[in-house]
Amino acid sequence: MRTVENTEAMRSALLDLDARISEMDTIGQDMAVFSLNSPRVQPYRPAAAIRLAREFNSALSAIVRERPARFGGLGTVAP
């Protein structure tokens, strides 16, 4: 499920927030809203899904708290 970010170029594009902001500035984008792509945590057993959702939401909230004028976030839940 995580093959997309295995290439260095894609991984950097996903994780380097300063580069993301630089790119946003280049194209005139003020804000980006992050969320977890499908299938989110649904494929996992309940205990693992809950743990993964909490981990994702914590990481996402840290990003948004650090740069609230540039990034927003949609949390995920383990149904």
Position 48 in a domain: yes
| Domain presence at residue 10 | yes
- Whether residue 79 lies inside any domain: the answer is no
* CB 41, CB 52: distance < 8 Å: yes
Question: From CA 40, how far away is CA 16, in angstroms rounded?
Answer: 21
Mean pLDDT of 14-33: 94
pLDDT of residue 5: 65
Q: How confident is the model at residue 76 (pLDDT cuts 50, 70, 90)?
A: very high
| Domains: count for the chain | 1
Q: Average of pLDDT values for 40-49?
A: 94
Q: Give a yes or no: residue 15 inside a domain.
A: yes
Tell me the average pLDDT across 14-30.
Answer: 93
The DSSP result for 62-73, as a single string, is HHHHHSTTTEEE
In terms of residue numbers, what domain contains 11?
4-74
Please identify which residue in the block is written with the tokens 């977890």.
36
pLDDT at 9: 78
Question: Is residue 16 included in any domain, yes or no?
Answer: yes
